[in-house]
A and B are shown apart, each in its own frame.
Chain A
Amino acid sequence: MGRIALHDIRKSFGAVDVLKGIDLTIEEGELAVFVGPSGCGKSTLLRMIAGLDRPTSGRIEINGTDVTARGAADRGLAMVFQSYALYPHMTVRANMAFGLENTRMSRAEIDSRISEAATLLEIGPLLARRPGQLSGGQRQRVAIGRAIVRRPTAFLLDEPLSNLDAELRVSMRAELSALHDRLGATMIHVTHDQVEAMTMADRIVVMRAGRVEQVDTPLNLYNRPANLFVAGFIGAPGMNLWPAEAAQGRVRIAGGPEVALALPDGPLTLGLRPQHLVLQGDGPLSLRVELVEALGAESVVHGALSGGTRVLAVLPGQPGLKRGDSIALGFDPGLVHAFGAAGQRL
């Protein structure tokens, strides 16, 4: 129950190609997160899985059945919208019951499902209220409750946390993950927040400009980004990406030093996470500190190499640096990512 397969999904609005051929399989019980910058087509893709939009071409299968031509109601999916889309004129109970009443379910069954979901989400005391009388977090729970009572094949969540404040977002994130474990249902979660994606997902689908850039587990994405875009998108703060030139086992960083790295000759881009740079007296990177963001547990150091190439380093603790200091940084060559001229991982 709940395997979703997409085959060469394309979508155009007039002359604009929004999705340019998506092939993707979401396994049963998986929490997949679609992540990407705004406008990358992730919400459009979700709406197509939901059946709210039709793809221009391609095929959507749920549990092996082709549902491309089926309407939203007949796909057995439930969706939580970014705005929650609770019916403002109905009570919480009526909101949750609406979808069940439409399937001519018996009153007793509806009541038992609602009370079950209300217990699960701790919204029992709110059942008689209207959405206007609820806080953002409570509306969020009701929206999820409305999806749960349907017992869907899969849950589709369209940026469900983006309207919550930062603190609530962190706790709802944990709750959603816990809910996924408890229900064991397939979930597709769309977000533009890579931290959300990293913390929740079984697998992350990174999208850009209507294409899937990489599909992998969060840690694989972090450790082995398939290309420059994924490398820059995943991880905070973003990875240092330096243009460089490799020749005979040595790599010259543009506007910086030459380091010994065994890489194929030619122009390439070196990637190094800020967390992987360490203070090292004889380190190869000597830079001038331009800004220090002291966060207590760690310090984010912005600096520039002698040639002007910018470097971002996250140093543990409080190293006592200040603007204008000259420091030398070293790194483990094994942690360096290298990307070819076309952006692909080498």
Chain B
Amino acid sequence: MTFLLKRRGGKGWHWTDIVTFLWLGAGLMVMFGPAVWLVLSSFKSPAGLAEFPPTLLPYQAQTAVVEGHDNPLPLFVVTDAAGSRTLAEVRRVGTVAQMVDPANPAEIVRVNIADREPVRSIGFAWENYLGPFERFDFLRFTMNSVFVTVTATLITLLSSSMAAFALSKYEFRGRSAVVVLILATLMIPLSVILVPLYSIVSAVGLMNTLWGVILPTVATPTGVFLLRQYMLTIPDELLEAARMDHASEWQIYWRIVLPLSAPALAVLAIFSVVWRWNDFLWPLIVLSRPEVYTLQVGLNAYAGELNVQWNYLLAMTVITMIPVVLVFVFLQRFITAGIAGTGLK
């Protein structure tokens, strides 16, 4: 708490403190507000989502079982000439609602809708989360997404680090040319190579398989470049010491360079997990059968041509965000921490 309320210098509030807190507060709202609203909205019922003006917290209308009616009826507090009382709505016609007193179900009261307020309390619509898993096979989509993300990330780390090792620690003709060539592919967007990529994946029979999603994405120029720049900072003397120590080139890579590149590998892992987890366009093209859908493609199924099931869409969006958030929470220290070089002077 003292840290949160840290101020410049002594005890008083300097004007820069106030500006700082306002600025940080505004930043927090801008950054965090939409995410919080998304999470809160994911607990709203379809009616709650359609409400205008929209509410921040998820509310559920209180209902009462009234004799003579099959379904529970929503409760309202009515304030008119006859005083204030709680009634249940039977039906609504235009601006007039037909309502009953739950204690006296026989008598129908007509109330102008301007004279009443719904009785509601904060409530969470958990069925938004349970429904997709029960009815839409979302568990399978999740498993598919996890498989694609984990496998693609592992292959990305392995192949990128091997390429980066060769490009940073070996001198050979055309090394710079190869680096430039790899970087140049950064300039080519996916949409340009979409059609040829589709032809290749189709020709090798990987359509509608998860490998068809994984393999075209694992070689990332960003990853190679990131790791290469990091490996350039690993002193050559370490590699020479390992060579004197009878280490094979593979051992130098596996036991010396790779562990020392851990901070850069963590960064690339974070990127790769986020990329692969959030991938939409390419999986949408490759995967056309629901049993191989990833989460993002599965989510798309909620947005139909005519109506969008917002409550499910929001709930599943929250689910898809969780792994990415977890990755950042647990791996973010690697982004700033570096351990290489501590063995040297």
Interface residues of A (CB under 8 A from B): 50, 52, 71-73, 77-79, 81-89, 98-99, 102-103, 130-132, 136, 139, 146, 150, 163
Contact = CB atoms under 8 A, between A and B. Distances in A.
B241 A88 contact: no
Nearest to B342: A132
Contacts, number: 84
B344 A77 contact: no
B51 interface: no
A85 B238 contact: yes
A77 B240 CA distance: 13
Q: Which 7 A-B pairs have the closest CB atoms?
A: A88-B343, A99-B245, A132-B342, A131-B343, A102-B246, A85-B241, A86-B343
A77 B244 contact: yes
A50 B342 contact: no
Contact of A102 (B245, B340, B344): B245
Contacts of B243: 52, 71-73
11 contacts: A72-B244, A73-B244, A78-B244, A81-B237, A85-B240, A87-B241, A99-B244, A102-B251, A132-B342, A132-B343, A139-B345
Given A89-B259, A99-B246, A81 B342 contact: no
Chain A at the B interface: SS class? loop
B247 to A, nearest CB: 5
Contact of B341 (A78, A82, A88, A146): A88
Nearest to B251: A102
Given A73-B246, A98-B255, A130 B241 contact: no
Contacts of B251: 102
B261 to A, nearest CB: 10
A72 B248 CA distance: 11
A87 B339 CA distance: 11
Chain B contact-residue range equals 20 to 34
Contacts of B237: 81-83, 85
Given A79-B241, A81-B240, A98-B255, A87 B246 contact: no
A89 B344 CA distance: 11
B235 interface: yes
A102 B238 CA distance: 16
Nearest to B248: A102
Given A83-B344, A84-B344, A103 B246 contact: yes
Nearest to B255: A98
B30 to A, nearest CB: 40
A86 B241 CA distance: 8
Interface string B212-245: 0000000000000000000000010110111111
A152 to B, nearest CB: 9
A4 to B, nearest CB: 15
B244 A79 contact: yes
A85 B345 contact: no
Interface string B246-275: 111001000110011010000000000000
Contact of A88 (B246, B248, B339): B339
Given A84-B344, A130-B342, A98 B242 contact: yes
Nearest to B246: A102
A71 B247 CA distance: 11
Nearest to A47: B240
A88 B242 contact: no
B345 A83 contact: yes
B235 to A, nearest CB: 6
